[in-house]
Amino acid sequence: MDHDDFAFEPIPGLPAHPPKGETLLWQGRPATFALAREAYKVNWIAGYFALVVLWRGGTGWSEGGLPMALAYGIPYAGLGLATYLLLLLGAFWQSRATVYTITTARVVMRIGAALSVTLNLPFKQIESASLDQRRSGTGTIAMQIAKPNRISKLVCWPHIRPWKWRGEPALRCIPDAARVARILSDAAEARLSIPTVSRAEDAAPAGAMPAA
């Protein structure tokens, strides 16, 4: 039987229905091949094994011609192909387990293939966001979180901006990234421009004079 581990979610990617007045604006997930290239580095792995196959094949050729070249090179070619496919499968699994959500009040990231984690990031906790877009249109939107909030890079990987000491959660390798960045920017600007009215419990009545 098929079993949906996230069947309890009222809306895919959200642990509960949004509060009254909060609207869902966008949902998406990483593009598998883009995630495989950027996070799992499959192109680098393929290039490494290609060099190894050429090296071993060349050694075999010098020792016994084509038969030895094939005998030396084919095992490494098979190992490289198996590694490439496993990494591609990992990227696919990670992508299918991920749901990114943008609402009128926050960013929600349900991430984790083996251990599911949900990050709830209200706009007021996001100091800034940056877009790294590729020629294909896919891109990564990284968010810098206000101190003292901390994000575990180990828990968030690969949904994290690479090569940054301070953990920055990221909507990684999403299609049509420029449009999503505009949605996020407009929603955050609209939300943060709403004035916050607080009630002073002990405020003096209007026009009252302080006691002498």
Mind listing the pLDDT tens digit for each residue in 73-99?
Answer: 999 999 999 999 999 999 999 999 999
**Site of tokens 């593009």:** 31
Q: Which of 92, 83, 8, 6 is nearest to 45 (CA)?
A: 83
Domain for residue 45, yes or no? yes
The answer to whether residue 184 is domain-embedded is yes
85 and 105 within one domain: no
pLDDT of 2 above 60: no
> What is the reported pLDDT for 149?
78
| Other residues' Cβ atoms within 10 Å of the Cβ of residue 195 | 4
pLDDT tens track for 162-190:
887 788 999 999 999 999 999 999 999 98
- Model pLDDT, residue 155: 84
Quick one: 106 and 184 in the same domain? yes
Are 113 and 152 in the same domain? yes
CA dist 57 and 70 (Å) reads: 6
In a domain, 4, yes or no: no
| pLDDT for position 199 | 62
Domain stops at, among 48, 65, 93: 93
- Mean of all residue pLDDT scores within the chain: 86
Confidence of residue 197 (pLDDT cuts 50, 70, 90): low
CATH number for position 128: 2.30.29
Domain range for 73 is 38-93
Cis peptide bond prior to 148, omega within 30° of 0: yes
121 in the same domain as 183 = yes
Q: Are residues 85 and 104 in the same domain?
A: no
Strands (E), 60-156: 99-103, 106-111, 117-122, 126-133, 139-145
Q: What percent of the chain has pLDDT over 70?
A: 87
Task: Please say whether the dihedral angle defined by the alpha carbons of residues 49, 50, 53 and 54, taken in this order, is positive or negative.
Answer: negative
Q: Are residues 59 and 120 in the same domain?
A: no
Question: Is the same domain home to 146 and 174?
Answer: yes
The predicted-structure confidence for 30-74, as pLDDT tens digits, reads as follows 999 999 999 999 999 999 999 999 999 998 888 888 888 899 899
Q: Give domain status of residue 186, yes or no.
A: yes
Distances (CA, A) of 65 to 3, 49, 59, 62, 70: 54, 21, 9, 6, 9
Of 27, 14, 35, nearest to 158 by C-alpha is: 35
Is position 19 within any domain?
no
Q: Which pLDDT value is given to residue 130? A: 93
User: Do 121 and 160 fall into the same domain?
Assistant: yes
Q: Say yes or no: 83 and 42 in one domain.
A: yes
**Residue 1 falls within a domain, yes or no?**
no
The predicted structure's pLDDT at residue 210:
45
Question: Amino acid identity of 122?
Answer: P
How many domains does the chain fold into? 2
